Structure formats: structure tokens, C-alpha cells
Homo-oligomer: A and B are copies of this chain.
Amino acid sequence: MCDNTFMRMAITLATNNVTSGNGGPFGAVITREGVVIGEGTNQVTSFGDPTAHAEILAIRAACKNIGSHILDGCIIYTSCEPCPMCLSAIYWARIKFIYFGNRKSDAAAIGFDDAHIYQQIALPEGQRSIPTNQMLSEEAIISFQKWTQSEFKIEY
């Protein structure tokens, strides 16, 4: 199957998600070597979970499917440009290529605007709209020292 086929699958997931009333118009498909290994749709309101974006659910499904938290060599087809949460997840998952259908500006035009979040995470913590303070650093660092010394750790 060609790239168009996978993107059309993502778009169909997005469209069906609207008509079913399950969530926003977003769908994503992940492939490995030309085979679909995971898909997801926006389920924020149906799951009551703000992290249940199409790409996050597709990543979780693909990882469960192949039994690994690493999706290197995989491609994601998402019906809309990823928000910064999903884009970061794509980096953590080590996906190699992103195809998208709609632009962020198209999403903003129908009420899904992540421009504010993109702007916020680029700012130093002191300038963000959510106040962010460090505390108990001397106690917190002990957990990191435990990690360094641990014989059980699985690095990733």
C-alpha cells in the first residue's frame, strides 16, 4: 500500500470519529515496513482524558502491538499536524517520518488551537502563564542518586 492509502485511513478515522460522536476530527495511523501496527482517534471527551489525542493513542496501540516502547523505523500518518504533546511523544517514540493532512492553522480555525501551547513551552519557566516553582530540590535529587546506583534500572 502507498502513502496515500495510509493517509486516507487516518482521514477516514477522523471523519468517522465526528459522525460517531466519539471526539474531535483527528485520526492517526502508524506503519512499519508498509504494515499498519497502530491507529488512534481523538477520544478526549469520550474517555475524559486530555491526553487521549489520536497520535498518543496510535503510539500506545503500536507499542502494545509490537511489544516495545520504541517505534524506530515507523511512520505516522496523522490527519492534522501534531500538537506539541503529540509531537514530543513522536520524538520519544523515535518515529522516523511524519505525514500530516490538515495544518495547525486549519485546526485553529475550527476551535482546536495549540498555538498558545507551542508559544508557552518555548518560554523560560518564569515567563509562562502557568506558575512553575522549584521546591525541595535537595530531597528530590536523592531519587536520581538512587537511580544512578540501582542495579535494576532499564535505561532508555
A interface, CB within 8 angstroms of B:
3-4, 7-8, 11, 14-15, 18-21, 23-27, 44-45, 47-52, 56, 59-60, 63-64, 67-71, 79-81, 83-85, 87-93, 95-103, 106-107, 109-111, 114, 116-118, 120-122, 125, 130-137, 139-144, 146-148, 150, 152-156
- Interchain CB contact under 8 A, A15 and B143: yes
Residue A106 contacts which of B51, B141, B156 (CB distance < 8 angstroms)? B141
Least Cβ distance of A23 to chain B in Å?
8
- Chain B residues near A15 (CB, 8 Å)? 142-143, 146
Q: Report the bound CA distance from A11 to B120 in whole Å.
A: 26
- Interchain CB contact under 8 A, B144 and A110: yes
Least Cβ distance of A154 to chain B in Å?
4
Of A48, A95, A118, which is in contact with the most chain B CB atoms at under 10 Å from its CB? Answer: A48
Q: Report the bound CA distance from A153 to B107 in whole Å.
A: 15
- Interchain CB contact under 8 A, B133 and A44: no
- Interchain CB contact under 8 A, B134 and A25: no
A-B contact pairs, 25 of them (CB 8 A): A4-B136, A19-B152, A20-B152, A21-B153, A25-B146, A27-B143, A45-B69, A45-B156, A48-B69, A49-B64, A50-B89, A50-B93, A51-B51, A51-B59, A51-B60, A91-B116, A97-B133, A98-B133, A99-B132, A99-B134, A100-B140, A103-B137, A111-B155, A121-B121, A121-B122
